[in-house]
Structure 1
Amino acid sequence: MNSPVNPNPLARIRQDIQSMQAYAIQESAGLVKLDAMENPFPLPPELQAELGRRLGAVAINRYPGARIDELKRALERYVDLPAGHALMLGNGSDELISLLAMGCDLPGASLLAPLPGFVMYAMSAQLQGLAFHGVPLTADFALDEAAMRAAMRAHQPAITYLAYPNNPTANRFDPDVMRRLIAEAARFGGLVVVDEAYQPFSSHTWLDEMRARPEANAHVLLMRTLSKFGLAGVRIGYLLGPAALVHEFDKLRPPYNVSVLNAECALFALEHAEVFAQQAGVIREQRDALMAALARLPKVQAFASEANMVLVRVPDAQRAFDGLKARGLLVKNVSKMHPLLAQCLRLTVGTPDENARLIQALQTAI
């Protein structure tokens, strides 16, 4: 006898998916947007006009073709890709994270990352049916080397993620600890993905390590995005590493995953990289000024940052968040993301005027 048929179409959707919360994007209309680590500076008007002309000439009636390969070559030149390495494109880093999980979906495989960290590492594991192991950072957001090493030995994860700098804590992990954990992964054939989303604002890149010590980093993939470069709306990420590894993951990439319009925007930006480098320099200066101003506020603890954001602990995160929003400023309340983030807000570094408004409003909001 056949089982009774459930006529509800939701029954065809995995129960764990139905139990999930979608990635939340805050409503920002009418607010100073300091919640998403975006570059606050638009293109200069003359470059806007030039880009408009370029996009108007793009053959949007055709599928993406050779222009995508030109973007790859441009990025390879931009990063000075080491010999023996390859680069692949993603529709933002999020797609690359999904493809990495898909490629490592072997029976019993798992992913591992320190927590708090970027939520997409754990989400990609869940969506792919992989186990995820989170290892808490120390109280000052450093890697807990002993705990990381123990977890890696116990679970032998297919991928260990190390964000460099980390999100949402904004700090850069100790390179010596990173080296030892990367060596630990090599012992059981695990991959390490170093996520450099915030590289334009950091004092060090792991790519220098990959150039200087290729054998020690033969199982390391480095991931970046053009979002923090200044193209958050364009949605282009890229992954680079030893050619044999990148070649396998590139097989999973959907055809035409990068649109011709996005590729043309990225090529245009790389042709004017000095403009974005200047903007990143201003953001770094503003970050330091914001940190100094935060240090003068009573009851506010600002943590060291090498990104375009600053994590702060306040007496009452929800009250401060609501107070800032009432004054027209939108930040990110991360206080419930992880116990180590109790009473913490994440502040994106804005323009000089936006940062001044933030400090003035924060004084009242707390």
Structure 2
Amino acid sequence: MTNQQEHAKTTALEALPLRANLRGQSPYGAPQLEVEHLLNTNENTHPVPQVVVDAIASAVHEAAVSLNRYPDREFTQLRQRLAAYLGHGLTEENMWAANGSNEVLQQILQAFGGPGRKLLSFPPTYSMYPLLASGTNTEYIAGVRNEDFTLSPESAARQVQETQPNVVFLCSPNNPTGTALGLDVVEAVYEAGQEFNAIVVVDEAYEEFSLNTTKSALTLLDGRERLIVSRTMSKAFALAGARVGYLATSPQVTDALRLVRLPYHLSAITQAAANAALQHVDVLLATVDEIKVQRDRIVEELRQMGLKPAVSDSNFVFFGWFEDAHAVWQGLLERGVLIRDVGIPHHLRVTAGTEEETTAFLVALREVMGA
């Protein structure tokens, strides 16, 4: 699209009676380019195992017979299977699911955010958070991290007390930096919000890739009725195309989400695919260890190149330092490798893919740096 066409499109959009807080906004979206090695959106680049493909195909075929009827509005079997997968004494009453974890987060803001209410998060973090806030007409407050992008319990708690948000989003492992939060940060934020009844969400989209010493916020759920832990089947399960996100929380929070969900929001096809996949958890998660090996390989080789990668609890690596990070991104693209320019000066992010993809990235990066 030319600049003139883009300007005409923007002008036409602005002529509509948009809400004031949506004017000038840009939709979320990573570049979708035809490139040999796509390492920019943190997908699990391993193909879905054939046994899972067959199980999903069979389940969808069976569900198709009754597509003239609405699906199970409560997606009971799916909630049961998700609870069994997470463990920690959770039951179906603690579980909720939607079309990707973004819709899960949106429903949380529909229930607990909205006009006159505030969402606090701590950038650099997942770029959808302010967009979800805008979409629900919730005021977005950008908290502050340390210069190395870490977040201490004391700083986080102080910012909660100062801003008094209705909802707090904590991303752990954080996107785009890949680092996990200590549970002491989650505990401090929860306690700081106790006085004004704040909902605290820990977005654990990448938790399955965490280091062995990292603990999930699921361990904190007991006795904390305002704490929510969000997950997804897009990353470790290699089911990004299925669009299934879910959360664990107190039963009263799931009841609140029923007030804002659309009728029958999870289709029979989505439920069938997710239920079939959850019967093959071990097969689906078999690639996680392989991905962690490539992630750690990336970290080590970047260090050998004199770069500064962050310690990663995820399936991607955030790294710098570059005088012109976008020029490096462009150089990699010209060599058939697409990674993510996350807009943070001097830094880039790369998904840990297969061994072949990782090799292609590292070879290309050495060429770019050599040039």
TM-score (ref. length: structure 2): 0.88
Find the partner of 1:285 among 293, 299, 305. 293
Q: Is it true that 1:359 corresponds to 2:362 in the alignment?
A: yes
Find the partner of 1:307 among 289, 314, 334. 314
Deviation of residue 362 (structure 1)? 0.5
Q: Structure 2 vs 1, CA of residues 276 and 70 (structure 1 numbering), >3 Å: closer, same or farther?
A: same
Deviation of residue 17 (structure 1)? 2.2
Q: Structure 2 vs 1, CA of residues 171 and 81 (structure 1 numbering), >3 Å: closer, same or farther?
A: same
1:256 match: secondary structure: coil
Deviation of residue 309 (structure 1)? 0.5
Q: Percent identity?
A: 27
Counterpart residue type for residue 266 of structure 2: V
Q: Is it true that 1:64 corresponds to 2:67 in the alignment?
A: no
**Kept in 1: contact 2:55–2:276 (CA 8 A):** no
1:222 match: secondary structure: strand
For 1:18 and 1:205, locate their aligned partners in 2 and report how far apart those are by CA, in whole Å. 38
For residue 179 of structure 1, what is the aligned residue in structure 2? Answer: 187
**Kept in 2: contact 1:31–1:325 (CA 8 A):** no
1:343 match: secondary structure: coil
Deviation of residue 50 (structure 1)? 4.0
**Kept in 2: contact 1:97–1:120 (CA 8 A):** no
Counterpart residue type for residue 263 of structure 2: P
Aligned positions of 1:279-358 closer than 5 A: 279-298=287-306, 300-315=307-322, 316-334=324-342, 336=343, 341-358=344-361
Q: Is it true that 1:249 corresponds to 2:228 in the alignment?
A: no
Aligned positions of 1:5-44 closer than 5 A: 10-44=15-49
Q: Structure 2 vs 1, CA of residues 286 and 15 (structure 1 numbering), >3 Å: closer, same or farther?
A: same
For 2:74 and 2:99, locate their aligned partners in 1 and report how far apart those are by CA, in whole Å. 15
Find the partner of 1:237 among 233, 245, 254. 245
For residue 121 of structure 1, what is the aligned residue in structure 2? Answer: 129
Q: Structure 2 vs 1, CA of residues 365 and 267 (structure 1 numbering), >3 Å: closer, same or farther?
A: same
For residue 4 of structure 2, what is the aligned residue in structure 1? Answer: none
For residues 318-348 of structure 1, the C-alpha deviation after alignment (integer angstroms, 9 at most, x for no partner) is 11100110111110001x2xxxx32111100
How many residue pairs match? The answer is 350
For 1:50 and 1:103, locate their aligned partners in 2 and report how far apart those are by CA, in whole Å. 35
Question: Is there any run of 5+ residues in structure 2 with no aligned partner, and where?
Answer: 1-11
1:111 match: secondary structure: strand
For residue 281 of structure 2, what is the aligned residue in structure 1? Answer: 273
Deviation of residue 12 (structure 1)? 2.4
1:57 match: secondary structure: helix
Counterpart residue type for residue 348 of structure 2: L
For 2:366 and 2:312, locate their aligned partners in 1 and report how far apart those are by CA, in whole Å. 21
Q: Is it true that 1:191 corresponds to 2:194 in the alignment?
A: no
What do you get for the CA RMSD once the two structures are aligned?
Answer: 2.1
Q: Structure 2 vs 1, CA of residues 269 and 10 (structure 1 numbering), >3 Å: closer, same or farther?
A: same
Find the partner of 1:55 among 28, 40, 60. 60
Question: Is there any run of 5+ residues in structure 1 with no aligned partner, and where?
Answer: 1-6
For 2:254 and 2:57, locate their aligned partners in 1 and report how far apart those are by CA, in whole Å. 34
For residue 216 of structure 2, what is the aligned residue in structure 1? Answer: 205
**Kept in 1: contact 2:180–2:313 (CA 8 A):** yes
For residue 80 of structure 1, what is the aligned residue in structure 2? Answer: 87
Deviation of residue 149 (structure 1)? 2.7
**Kept in 2: contact 1:321–1:331 (CA 8 A):** yes
For 1:239 and 1:44, locate their aligned partners in 2 and report how far apart those are by CA, in whole Å. 25
**Kept in 2: contact 1:88–1:250 (CA 8 A):** no
**Kept in 2: contact 1:67–1:263 (CA 8 A):** no
For residue 3 of structure 1, what is the aligned residue in structure 2? Answer: none
Counterpart residue type for residue 355 of structure 1: T
For 2:339 and 2:13, locate their aligned partners in 1 and report how far apart those are by CA, in whole Å. 40
**Kept in 2: contact 1:312–1:346 (CA 8 A):** yes
For residue 4 of structure 1, what is the aligned residue in structure 2? Answer: none
**Kept in 1: contact 2:114–2:137 (CA 8 A):** no
Counterpart residue type for residue 261 of structure 1: I
1:133 match: secondary structure: strand
For 1:194 and 1:166, locate their aligned partners in 2 and report how far apart those are by CA, in whole Å. 10
Deviation of residue 178 (structure 1)? 2.5
TM-score (ref. length: structure 1): 0.89
**Kept in 2: contact 1:319–1:365 (CA 8 A):** no
**Kept in 2: contact 1:38–1:230 (CA 8 A):** yes
2:242 match: secondary structure: coil
Q: Structure 2 vs 1, CA of residues 358 and 220 (structure 1 numbering), >3 Å: closer, same or farther?
A: same
**Kept in 2: contact 1:317–1:344 (CA 8 A):** yes
Q: Structure 2 vs 1, CA of residues 32 and 56 (structure 1 numbering), >3 Å: closer, same or farther?
A: same
**Kept in 1: contact 2:179–2:313 (CA 8 A):** yes
**Kept in 2: contact 1:142–1:174 (CA 8 A):** no
**Kept in 1: contact 2:120–2:143 (CA 8 A):** yes
Find the partner of 1:258 among 259, 263, 266. 266
Q: Structure 2 vs 1, CA of residues 239 and 48 (structure 1 numbering), >3 Å: closer, same or farther?
A: closer
For 2:300 and 2:202, locate their aligned partners in 1 and report how far apart those are by CA, in whole Å. 29
2:266 match: secondary structure: coil
For 2:164 and 2:97, locate their aligned partners in 1 and report how far apart those are by CA, in whole Å. 28
For residues 15-68 of structure 1, the C-alpha deviation after alignment (integer angstroms, 9 at most, x for no partner) is 432411111231232331100111111123344344323322322333222793
Quick check: 146-155 or 271-280, which moved more? Answer: 146-155
For residue 97 of structure 2, what is the aligned residue in structure 1? Answer: 89
